[in-house]
Amino acid sequence: MRELCVGVLKGYKKPAPKRSVPIPRVVEPAAKAQPPSGSPSAKALTAAAGVAAVLCTAAYYPLHPSILKLSRGLGIFKDPKGLQTAHGLSHLGITGGFPAGFLAASALTAIFAAASLRQLSKLTQIHSGFTQYPPHKPSTKRRIRSSANERPFLNPQTYQRLPLIRKDTLARGVLRLFFALPTPTTTLGLPTGQHVSIRAVIDGKPVSRSYTPVSNDSDKGVLELVVRVYPDGQLTSRYLARLRDGGVDSVEFRGPKGAMRYHRGWAKRIGMVAGGTGITPMYQVVRAICEDPEDETEVSLVYANRREEDILLREDLEALAARCPGKLSIWYMLDIAPEGWAYGAGFVSREVVQDRMPQPGEGSKVMLCGPPGMVNAVKGLLTDMGYKAPGPAGKMEDDIFVF
């Protein structure tokens, strides 16, 4: 239709554009705080008390004759007529003595009940919502009891002194030394098969040697050493042999040291060849196996000495063998055997190694400790049997472990 429109009508006025009228913004008043959920309002409590009073009053009128009769019978109101005036309600036009008193009591009861319920509601309010709790509550600090007194004694970095409390002679030139740990409950902290270092100053120079204790962590409060005193030994003849027991003298210890850390399951069968004081690490391993009822490792020990009286820890070893039959077998070897000797004589020969050591294979290990000549000879015999020769430094993975 736009193309049909021609010209402008006479008297036509273009309408003025519409003006926008601003609409005033209405700010709603803040909502009143609602009472906590689960708690009745004060108005509701007051109304409930008033309703209770009205109901009591309404129930009075139909029951008035019966109540009055009952009161006379019980002697509660001997002269009800004397209660004709209730001064507190006379200005309201209520003149009945007993009704007026009843209404007054009802009103007072309603007021007291409303006030009591209001206070009770404050005590029983259940505050809900996360805003009712602080944004952060500091955790309580637990006091951890210091376990300094329960730490093992040994320290691999630092030498520490222990007093010598007892010194026994086991055999010719062999001493058993007992040192007291700091407390009667202190443990040594020595893994099975490892050793400790002893340090002393002799002629102005520090001298140290390594020894394997015969005690373990089950022997609390004590460290036990078995040492052979050599005539030309600096640390043994010139120091350890001269120590005074009874706590007079003390010795410096550091450890643990060594590559061996025996544990259950390391082997199924272990062969041991020891000579002289080389029995000490063997004794430590044997003791750990026999004292562990779950360790089913079988041990065959060959122990070589010069004479029968030189056998160290014999009573202890045989007590362990009797304690765990089937786990430990012992075969003694003597250079000079007495008449009627029931064990081996002479050197540890090929026949002894083949008869007493487990056959090489998975689960079989051999430990060696003693004089270098004996150790080297037995290593050769074992490699001839099929054992893999160990490296220069002993490792737990070796078939033949040399202490």
State the binding site for FAD: 209, 211, 226, 237, 280
Q: Which residues contact 47 (CB under 8 A, 6 or more apart)?
A: none
Catalytic (active site) residue 87: no
Q: Out of 187, 212, 236, 277, which one is annotated catalytic?
A: 212
Catalytic (active site) residue 369: yes
Q: How far apart are CA 103 and CA 82, in angstroms?
A: 17
Count CB atoms within 10 A of the CB of residue 174.
18
Catalytic (active site) residue 60: no
- List residues forming the annotated binding site: 209, 211, 226, 237, 280
Q: How far apart are CA 277 and CA 279, in angstroms?
A: 5
| Helix H or strand E encompassing 335 | none
Q: Out of 195, 236, 277, 290, which one is annotated catalytic?
A: 195
Q: Out of 211, 239, 283, 332, which one is annotated catalytic?
A: 211
Q: Which pair of tokens denotes residue 83?
A: 């209660």
3-state secondary structure of 251: strand
Catalytic (active site) residue 324: no
DSSP letters along 352-402, please? HHHHHSPPSSTTEEEEEES-HHHHHHHHHHHHHHTPPPP-SS--TT-SEEE
Q: Which pair of tokens denotes residue 211?
A: 């020894």
Q: Out of 277, 290, 297, 369, which one is annotated catalytic?
A: 369
Q: What is the DSSP letter of 242?
A: G
361, amino acid identity: G
Q: How far apart are CA 115 and CA 119, in angstroms?
A: 6
Count CB atoms within 10 A of the CB of residue 200.
17
Q: Which pair of tokens denotes residue 115?
A: 């006030």
249, amino acid identity: D
Phi, psi at 272, each rounded to 5°:
-130, 135
DSSP letters along 36-67, please? PTT---HHHHHHHHHHHHHHHHHHHTTTHHHH
Q: Which residues are catalytic?
A: 195, 211-212, 369
